[in-house]
A and B are shown apart, each in its own frame.
Chain A
Amino acid sequence: MEETENMVDGLEVDELEEGVLEADGHEVDLDEDATEEDDDISFSDPEDFVDDIEDEELLDDVLSERPQEADGIDSVVVVDNVPQVGPDRLEKLKNVINKIFSKFGKITNEFYPDADGLTKGYIFLEYGVPTHAQEAVKGADGYKLDKQHTFRVNLFTDFDKYMVVCDEWDLPEKQPFKDFGNLRSWLEDADCRDQFSVIYESGERTSIFWNDVKEPIPAEERARWTETYVRWSPRGTYLATFHQRGIALWGGEKFKQIQRFSHQGVQLIDYSPCERYLVTFSPLLDTEEDPQAIIIWDTLTGQKKRGFHCESSAHWPIFKWSHDGKFFARMTFDTLSIYETPSMGLLDKKSLKITGIKDFSWSPGGNIIAFWVPEDKDIPARVTLMQLPSRQEIRVRNLFNVVDCKLHWQKNGDYLCVKVDRTPKGTQGVVTNFEIFRMREKQVPVDVVEMKDGIIAFAWEPNGSKFAVLHGEVPRISVSFYHVKSNGKIELIKSYDKQQANTIFWSPQGQFLVLAGLRSMNGALAFVDTSDCTIMNIAEHYTASDVEWDPTGRFVVTSVSWWSHKVDNAYWLWTFQGRLLQKNSKDRFCQLLWRPRPPTLLGVEEIKVIKKDLKKYSKIFEQKDRLSQTKASKELVDRRRTMMEEYKSYREMSHRLYLEQKDARLELRGGVDTDELDSNVEDWEEETIEFFVTEEIIHLEE
């Protein structure tokens, strides 16, 4: 793989190494000085002295750095197809060779073998360090000196390496197939329940629960399952746990370990949308020669596919995946690098140079990248949509007086909204434009909604054509719902003011959403149906820090995480309509994550049919619900009854003992029966207590 970035790395190494060499030279000088001064007193050993100290004893720590015979062999290259010359022209040839090969590093040694007065047509060159030799192979192999002579450059060590390659190819040994059972078994639940993971006791325990309306049903519980947090894969197949030494993936019915990825100090991970690859990040261990800050792994084989340097990107994920997992891209200074799977190499072997690129994002519905570039002197800012792998620009939109842009894709990739903060000429302050790109139409038409308010949050309906915006300033916050009509017009459906919210959570199925005022806004919740834009319920989960919809859009969980707040750590389960079903307090509860579901296998038509016959199904479900409810209430009553009976029998036993001790009690209290409050009425003294009722009359001044 020949890439520009590696070239740059190589050059930096070059400088470094030279520095080291200089320093070494200096040390030698010092030593020489020392020996000169030694002339006065003789420290020499007597002649018959035999040194009985082993090298190991004296300099065991540096012994491993002792020069070896083969040292430097890595720095030697062999150049073939060099013109054969006589001694008269040798000097000239050497000059030419030096000129070509010095640019990869300083040549420290050279050898031009000759026979019969002519050079043999191949030469040996030695560099100061092996990397220079490698650069020379990369850079000079295939170099055309003239018509007859095209250099072939190889590492000297490669000759040895390829000589010993066995001529016979052995069939790789077949790895035994490990059966992890049905990795999607949770989808076969008879009641179509979902699972979720819960971390609590400040991370000591992790549990998987089935979500049930009555109460969560434990599926798995483990102590110290993870050291920090967990992550589900995008289709719910794997659960990733974090450890000092790397990542472990768990799955199947019993949550067995399926794969391990060793990455010391791993902190962040990301899956490709197809679950085939895992990207891990660790701040430790990265070296110039061996990039392993970011590693891409194959989740099926567990193999490391490629390591990358972190560069200086601040936002995770650094690599963004295309929706099908075929490509992944990263942005560095003025550059957008797109890689392809499974080779993990740069697409078309080169990065895109995009001067000033600020942000980019893949469409979730096709291999299209959107990126934007800010204004540069007279060149306007622009948003570009690029088709891949063709790199064809399908739409470019120029924007003026831009402060900032944010790219928001609708989940199906039908629409792209670019939120543009602008400072138009002649006005004060910032206005925001929502530039709505209609991706499914020819030439991608764009419409604009302008807003003068400050924007707090924006969110697309996941599979619809509506979007919601929170705007205004605290405490005057409004929510507005817009609809992108099929003719492209953007219509304001409804607006509510005086909202207590700072985040929008759409149901993954669309239509319903929760407006939440998290953290500083005390956990105010509003449940909205956007089909007619009514607020179905207003509720509160005090100091809530997170809101999580289940993958089906039937339930929503609000929670107070120990990571953000130290008291009242709990998660509450609500229906999509905002009816509170459960309050689950867990000691030092940290995080709840729903297990994602893979996309449905049903076609559009089949879903339509189901929706049409919904009445038929809902009857069955209602009956089922009623049954389970009566069963539940019966269970509860039974449980209470047994508890009551157990308690009763305990009390009866205690009471018998109490009666037996009556004589002892009487004796201790001098014969006075104090068993009941009024059992010694004859001893009572009457006492009259006066109630003081003060009456104060205050005359109000007229």
Chain B
Amino acid sequence: MRPILLQGHERAITQIKYNRDGDLLFTVAKDPVVNVWYSVNGERLGTYNGHTGAVWCVDVDWDNRHVLSGSADNSCRLFDCETGKQLALLETNSAVRTCGFDFGGNIIMFSTDKQMGYQCFVSFIDLRDPTQIEDNEPYMKIPCNESKITSAVWGPLGENVITGHENGELNLYSAKSGEIVNTMKEHSKQINDIQSSRDMTMFITASKDCTAKIFDTTSLEHQKTFRTERPVNSAALSPIYDHVVLGGGQEAMDVTTTSTRIGKFEARFFHVAVEEEFGRVKGHFGPINSLAFHPDGKSYSSGGEDGYVRIHYFDQQYFDFEPEF
């Protein structure tokens, strides 16, 4: 399994995401460029320019019309996916940490950091109403007083947004009323990443408390736990098997003091049902910050603190693997 190495960023990767079809891979890093690549051969298709700070998050809608990115330059930008043209600039008071399109691709959501005296907010903008963008006036802005949002995804059918917080809490916000519909606390530390399963009935969280957990999307009921010895920065669910992949490693600030060997920067594969590890993939020489499964489940990609994105196609061995039961 020789990976394809994507060298398009000068700084640590912050998030990577496939589009629905899986032919494109979007990557953002702590540099101002948003990159898009052909996932099949690792060729760079283009960039989305405009940001002037680290980019924390990226998303693409289901029919590849728009790309949304959020940055520490206190802005969220909407691009035309095909041409790369910037369609909208949504200025905020603090860094944009998470962003996403709803199921239909009509409503965008983004959350901002608690920073420089500003609170953490989740904002909702309906793209069908041009005045909301022009006036930079979201139809709903929910303040989040307690612990700031560190990761967020849309729930199924665009009804809710699931947010993960710095204190390990999970909240389910209604995209219509802005109320907290449900809440759950299973993690003891910051939730670094949330990713939904393909059918969006469940999602996986990656936490600094060295675990990743699976929850039900509607009830937020805890289903499964995967344990490691290092903070987990990202976790993804396979679209075709009962597998998850976890990535992380020692925190970036401690990395310089130790060797890669002790940092444990491997991507780790677990079987969902029995919560047991069955494989590891080495490669990055820093912690893995973001992971994504290709929608066909035949490859996955990882982006690391080392600034590289690696696309891995699975060997036949992976497909032949049958756990003993």
Contacts and interface: CB of A to CB of B under 8 A. Distances in A.
Nearest to A570: B229
Interface stretch (A29-37, A476-484, A665-673): A665-673
A668 B101 CA distance: 12
Contacts of A668: 103-104, 157-158
A644 interface: yes
B43 A643 contact: no
Interface in B256-280: 258, 261-262, 272-276
Contact of B21 (A543, A669, A677, A692): A677
Contacts of B242: 647
B103 A689 contact: no
A664 interface: yes
A567 B43 contact: no
Contacts of B103: 665, 668-669
A648 interface: yes
A644 B325 contact: yes
B157 A643 contact: no
A471 to B, nearest CB: 29
Nearest to A639: B274
Nearest to B296: A677
Dominant SS among interface residues on chain B: loop
A658 B198 CA distance: 11
Nearest to A587: B210
Given A654-B216, A665-B157, A643 B275 contact: yes
Interface in A644-695: 644, 647-648, 650, 654-655, 657-658, 661, 664-665, 668-669, 672, 674, 677, 687, 689, 691-692
A102 interface: no
A637 B276 CA distance: 13
Contact of B41 (A648, A664, A674, A689): A689
- The CB with the most chain A CB atoms within 10 A, among B250, B273, B274, B323, is that of B273
Interface in B3-51: 20-23, 38, 40-41, 43
Contacts of B199: 654-655, 658
Contacts of A644: 273-274, 325
B273 A654 contact: no
B38 A650 contact: no
B202 interface: yes
Contact of B273 (A568, A570, A647): A647
Nearest to A648: B273
Contacts of B202: 654
B223 interface: yes
Interface in A325-341: none
B62 interface: yes
A220 to B, nearest CB: 24
Given A568-B262, A643-B274, A654-B216, A677 B201 contact: no
Interface residues of A, number: 30
Contacts of B262: 542-543, 567-568
A689 B157 contact: no
Contacts of B21: 677
Given A655-B201, A658-B201, A689-B40, A637 B325 contact: yes
A621 B300 CA distance: 49
B63 interface: yes
A643 B156 CA distance: 26
Given A637-B325, A647-B272, A568 B216 contact: no
B296 A643 contact: no
Interface string A525-545: 000000000000000001100
Nearest to A656: B201
A585 B201 contact: no
Q: How large is the interface on B (under 10, 10 to 19, 20 to 34, 35 or more residues)?
A: 35 or more
Given A655-B199, A689-B41, A669 B62 contact: yes
B201 A674 contact: no
B178 interface: no
Interface in B141-174: 156-158
A674 B200 CA distance: 13
A650 to B, nearest CB: 6
B104 A669 contact: yes
Interface in B185-204: 199-202
Nearest to A672: B63
A351 B103 CA distance: 90
Given A568-B262, A643-B273, A669-B104, A677 B295 contact: yes
B229 A568 contact: yes
A238 to B, nearest CB: 34
A641 interface: yes
A296 B161 CA distance: 66
Contact of B20 (A647, A654, A655, A674): A674
A205 to B, nearest CB: 15
Contacts of A689: 38, 40-41, 43
A640 B40 contact: no
Interface string B282-309: 0000000000000110000000000000
A29 to B, nearest CB: 66
Contacts of B63: 669, 672
A664 B157 contact: yes
A567 B230 CA distance: 9
B62 A674 contact: yes
- The CB with the most chain A CB atoms within 10 A, among B201, B202, B242, B323, is that of B201
A629 to B, nearest CB: 16
A643 B242 CA distance: 13
A643 B23 CA distance: 35
Nearest to B230: A567
Nearest to B224: A647
A661 B157 contact: yes
Nearest to B21: A677
Contacts of A567: 229, 250, 254, 258, 262
- The CB with the most chain B CB atoms within 10 A, among A543, A637, A668, is that of A668
B156 A661 contact: yes
Nearest to A583: B229
B44 to A, nearest CB: 11
Nearest to A675: B199
Contacts of B325: 637, 640-641, 644
A647 B224 CA distance: 9
A524 to B, nearest CB: 14
Interface string B94-117: 000000000111000000000000
Contacts of B105: 669
Contacts of B158: 668
B77 to A, nearest CB: 24
A144 B119 CA distance: 93
B234 to A, nearest CB: 20
A691 B43 CA distance: 8
A644 B271 CA distance: 10
Nearest to A644: B273
A658 to B, nearest CB: 5
B25 to A, nearest CB: 13
B280 to A, nearest CB: 15
B18 to A, nearest CB: 11
Interface string B197-225: 00111100000000000001010000110
Contacts of B296: 677
A669 B105 CA distance: 8
The 5 A-B pairs of least Cβ separation, nearest first, read A654-B201, A668-B104, A647-B273, A644-B273, A658-B199
Interface of B: 20-23, 38, 40-41, 43, 62-63, 103-105, 156-158, 199-202, 216, 218, 223-224, 229, 242, 250, 254, 258, 261-262, 272-276, 295-296, 323-325
Given A585-B229, A658-B200, 11 more contacts: A568-B262, A640-B273, A640-B274, A640-B325, A643-B275, A644-B325, A647-B272, A661-B157, A668-B103, A674-B20, A689-B40
12 contacts: A542-B261, A567-B229, A637-B325, A640-B274, A643-B274, A655-B201, A657-B201, A657-B218, A665-B157, A677-B21, A677-B295, A689-B38
Interface of A: 542-543, 567-568, 570, 585, 637, 640-641, 643-644, 647-648, 650, 654-655, 657-658, 661, 664-665, 668-669, 672, 674, 677, 687, 689, 691-692
